[in-house]
């Protein structure tokens, strides 16, 4: 088995419905696959040319997994930063290598559409309101809180290609709530 600790950034489309689960200790985990392609625009023909498609298994844990569960769907264009791990396998007389990323950050690829970030308040941000005031008071987010990778609740409109490497077609417009 070959294991590396390389950090890798990929941009591609989610190829399956993300699968949510929990670790034995109750920590959230999400798994999905991302297809990347080295396609390019051919100036001579005026058309896009498909290149080689690579598939990556992506896993995320904790709050990142919870936010990804609320934000990501099959076909979404994403950017993932994570630690690369290659796992050799053998089954039924065949050998192969799985390429996996343990995500440190996940976001929608804004080259392909727009999104609106919705911050989920942290419990420690709620202050006690004066008597008679029914609405909670929230502290202003710190500069560190402005990190767009840390949140969830994204709404996205994007164009996708007509299909992926598996030959399955996807809707041309995506909307996430």
The domain limits of the chain are 7-108
Burial class for 96, CB neighbours closer than 10 Å (0-12, 13-18, 19+): exposed
- In 10 A of CB 35, how many CB atoms? 18
- Can you give the pLDDT at residue 132? 55
User: What is 7-108's CATH topology?
Assistant: OB fold (Dihydrolipoamide Acetyltransferase, E2P) (2.40.50)
Residue 169: C-alpha distances to residues 36, 160, 162, 172 (Å)? 16, 9, 5, 9
Average pLDDT over residues 32-44: 92
Residues 115-128 as b or e (16 or more Cβ within 10 Å = b): bebeeeeeeebeee
- Can you give the pLDDT at residue 98? 87
Average pLDDT over residues 50-59: 93
What percent of the chain shows pLDDT beyond 70?
Answer: 67
Average pLDDT over residues 56-79: 96
For residue 71, give every residue at least 6 positions away whose Cβ sits within 8 Å of its Cβ, in sequence order, or none.
108, 152, 153, 154, 176
pLDDT tens-digit readout, 110-148: 999 998 888 877 776 555 555 555 544 444 444 444 343
Task: Give the Cα-Cα-Cα angle 150, 155, 160 (nearest 5 degrees).
Answer: 110
Q: Which helix (H) or strand (E) holds 67?
A: helix 62-71
Place of tokens 């934000």: 71
pLDDT confidence bin for 39, thresholds 50/70/90: confident
pLDDT tens-digit readout, 87-112: 898 999 999 888 899 999 999 999 99
For the four alpha carbons of 69, 139, 130 and 134, in that order, the dihedral sign comes to negative
């Amino acid at each position: 088995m070959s294991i590396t600790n390389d950090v890798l950034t990929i941009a591609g489309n989610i190829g399956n419905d993300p699968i949510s689960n929990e670790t034995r200790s109750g920590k959230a985990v999400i798994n999905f696959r991302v297809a990347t392609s080295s396609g390019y625009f051919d100036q001579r023909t005026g058309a896009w040319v498909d290149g080689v498609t690579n598939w990556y298994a992506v896993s995320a844990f904790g709050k990142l997994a919870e936010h990804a569960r609320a934000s990501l769907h099959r076909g979404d264009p994403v950017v993932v930063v994570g630690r690369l791990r290659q796992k050799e396998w053998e089954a039924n007389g065949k050998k192969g290598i799985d390429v996996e990323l343990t995500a440190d950050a996940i976001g929608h690829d804004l080259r392909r559409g727009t999104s609106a970030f919705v911050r989920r308040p942290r419990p420690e941000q709620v202050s006690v309101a004066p008597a008679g005031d029914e609405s909670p008071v929230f502290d202003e987010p710190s500069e560190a809180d402005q990190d767009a990778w840390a949140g969830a609740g994204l709404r996205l409109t994007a164009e996708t290609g007509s299909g992926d490497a598996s030959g399955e077609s996807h809707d041309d417009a995506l909307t996430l709530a």
